[in-house]
Structure 1
């Protein structure tokens, strides 16, 4: 008996443990996604900060290039102007102009004898691109400080005259990144195109000027930003969001890393607490199972289980009949109330289903009455004065009514293309079934597309009977369709009839065929009046409309496939 009670306790604890384990996995997954999102956001923010700094320096170079003394390379005035500008901008190390041979022309500070800049990577790059260039981590030959060179061409009337060079001070950039502040264990790293770290928080003195590890060098010029898990140089496991230089607006590589240990510390503490709680609860449950006894546990549980088994076997009137303040009695009473509610809901669902079926039938009846009334009004209005137009109108109305009948008979808002076409051709199929061929997959269309398609098919069949292949004894019509990428391609082909020629004027039927579909269907049609018979093509959306570029590409592919 004790072993059975222990087994009951274990069974009771199993769902709790499973739920806690599931919650643990879900919480860790959710936290991982949150940290990944935060890493990507931090990388974007740091990258935006760098972009603003570089854009500001670019704007400074543009302003300098507009100075008359710089534009005309007036050395004395240029020296004075550049010194004045550099003295008032704290993040700029120096400002100077160099010739196309790499030798200095003028600048904000004196140049050492024989200094040249032709070997600098930014100099070589700007000669090739003649565009604004961000260099790599460099020790300035003018100030002996580490800088990030920025250069742009000095153009005069389309002529490349010289190069204006500036440099962002690395100590100033490091201070800007440090001022942003980060949580314990997190990092922000900025590197140049060669993978040299130009700023890092924390431990800037240890990493600035060193290269990013070889394993992570591909991230610098990756095609897209991303978030990955890495083991950092300091040995910390981090979730790293990075922004590569390959992005059009990213002049430098930027990454933001979040320590996994710090990020998951609250969950780890909660996991330990929950584990201890489960162990304590298990011990208490075992003791309770041993000492409480059969009467207060096994009998009530057996009673509830018996009712559940009866319900499973279809005895929906079975109840536990348990009352009282005992916990299991409360469970039994609650279970009875739940069964009562489920039984009531089942009855309500049955009544709702009967009412829905009645309303659908009523709707079908009213729609049919509406079409009959419209037809009667039309007959009284112009059947005698213009029989031909009345007959054409009546046929179109009958095709529309047939499609509505098809939709309502299925108690839904959609019908298949095969059923729509068959309903629209019902008058022709009845006598000419062997001369009309249908070929295509099962494609279900919504009502707002099914009705226009029905009218178009009816109009084509009417024209084929009057002027085309169905007007002769040997003529045939083939209707084929296919469905790709959310678009339907339908092909109407007439053969074996009298010779066909293009109409000299557009009648109502032609306008109806062109404008029947709603705008969201993005329909496109084409009529080819070949001598052997009309070939009509129409392409339209079977559901939600695709983007314009996707529709054009899909239509070209479907038309090409149909021709091949």
Structure 2
């Protein structure tokens, strides 16, 4: 019972826990959507800033290609102009002009003799495409520092006559990304078309110049921007918004990652507080359920249970003594009233039982007297003139009387089928080994027990006259089974003389066929086999 009280307390907490759980789920779903939107927005902002930087330098290089000294490849004048220009642009270190063979023409700083840029991939792309090119992570041949190279071809009459080259300083780009500010746990990454990281916050010293892992390379050339949940290289779980290079005018891959731990930290703290509150409430509820349950519920129930156990043990004077103060005490008071009535009824039943037993004994005496009177009349009527018919009638009457004795001895209206079989065959079973029977213990109503005893008696009589019981080694096997409210009984004779079907029906055959009331839906078959009679009968075994 205590466990049931605990179950009641738990059941009372289930709706609260369910509502809190649903609220927690809804808040987390809402926060997840918010974080994804913020990651996508942060990636767009970072990408837009990079696009503005690159577009500004593109315009600068385009302007350089329009300078007369550059167009005429006037080295002295070009050196002076580019030197003056580079000093005023903080995000680049050098600007120089190259011939189509990769040799320098002029620049913002002195270029060592013999230096060539013919091996640079971005240089060849600018000549082949005749368009502005943003290269990949490169170590500058002039300064030795990491740069993101830019190339603008100078085209005249459809031919490239020179290429203006510069490069974004990656230290300046890194400072620019850092100055934007990144919340703890978040990250911003810029990478070139080959997946090399050119700027990153945080931990730039660890990642700048390294290649993005293979699992993320597919994002660089994705067809559309998107948001994914990943574990970053630094081991942090993040919601990552990314902008691929495949977008128009997007020279760099940009990603902005929001730490799920930081994003969900307030919700996690709230969850812990709520869980502790629920646990504390559950503990208090369980303690109160034990205390209140013991005093208000278990004690009265235990008292009622004790009275019932004493009553069962024979102490009919046991009572709860409860009054109608509450529901359980009302049950106890009702139990006392019930026990009083049962005690009175028990006394009345004992008196009625004594009267019934007297009537049963009187009925048994009168039935036996009736059978004795009928037998005496039959003996006086035709015992001398028709002794064979008298003997047959007397045996049938004896079988019927035996079954009545069985029913009256059980003091009821029903008898076991096994007892009916034994009583019906008692006069024919002098040799116990010759008659065998087997089947479940089925109780038959009187309307079935009486005709069954007559049928068995007739079968046994015929077996003595014409069948297996008329010879020394003949046997009879009786089996039955019960299924679906019906009994299927089989009589099988063996070891007797050869059997032939009778040419006419005698009284016994008619009795066998018509003994059972039609209300029990009897069905019987007789098979006169040469090796012995096979008789099957099926009938209902319940009151119709």
Q: Which residue of 2 aligns with 1:68?
A: 68
Q: Which residue of 2 aligns with 1:32?
A: 32
1:152 matched to 2:156: no
SS of equivalent residue, structure 1 residue 110: coil
2:127/2:160 contact within 8 Å kept: no
1:92 matched to 2:103: no
1:80 matched to 2:85: no
Deviations 1:298-351 (A, max 9, x none): xxxxxxxxxxxxxxxxxxxxxxxxxxxxxxxxxxxxxxxxxxxxxxxxxxxxxx
1:79/1:109 contact within 8 Å kept: yes
Distance 1:114 1:228 in 2: 49
Q: Which residue of 2 aligns with 1:488?
A: none
5+ residue gaps, structure 2, are 298-544
Q: How do 1:97-246 and structure 2 match up within 5 A?
A: 97-246=97-246
Distance 2:131 2:3 in 1: 83
Q: Which residue of 2 aligns with 1:22?
A: 22
Q: Which residue of 2 aligns with 1:277?
A: 277
Deviations 1:78-120 (A, max 9, x none): 1111111001111111101101111111111111111111111
**How far 1:33 sits from its partner (Å)?**
1.4
Q: How do 1:293-304 and structure 2 match up within 5 A?
A: none
Distance 1:109 1:4 in 2: 90
Deviations 1:432-485 (A, max 9, x none): xxxxxxxxxxxxxxxxxxxxxxxxxxxxxxxxxxxxxxxxxxxxxxxxxxxxxx
**How far 1:5 sits from its partner (Å)?**
4.2
1:231/1:237 contact within 8 Å kept: yes
2:152/2:164 contact within 8 Å kept: yes
Q: Against the structure 1 CA distance between its residues 170 and 7, is the aligned structure 2 distance closer, same or farther, given a 3 Å change threshold?
A: same
SS of equivalent residue, structure 1 residue 17: helix
1:71/1:156 contact within 8 Å kept: no
1:86/1:108 contact within 8 Å kept: yes
1:75/1:105 contact within 8 Å kept: yes
Q: Which residue of 1 aligns with 2:471?
A: none
2:91/2:172 contact within 8 Å kept: yes
Distance 2:196 2:2 in 1: 70
Indicate the RMSD between aligned Cα atoms, in angstroms. 2.0
Distance 2:162 2:136 in 1: 20
Distance 2:39 2:296 in 1: 55
Distance 2:158 2:125 in 1: 19
Distance 2:4 2:219 in 1: 60
**How far 1:293 sits from its partner (Å)?**
6.1
Q: How do 1:360-371 and structure 2 match up within 5 A?
A: none
Q: Against the structure 1 CA distance between its residues 296 and 104, is the aligned structure 2 distance closer, same or farther, given a 3 Å change threshold?
A: farther
Q: Which residue of 2 aligns with 1:499?
A: none
2:130/2:155 contact within 8 Å kept: no
Deviations 1:339-388 (A, max 9, x none): xxxxxxxxxxxxxxxxxxxxxxxxxxxxxxxxxxxxxxxxxxxxxxxxxx
1:93/1:147 contact within 8 Å kept: no
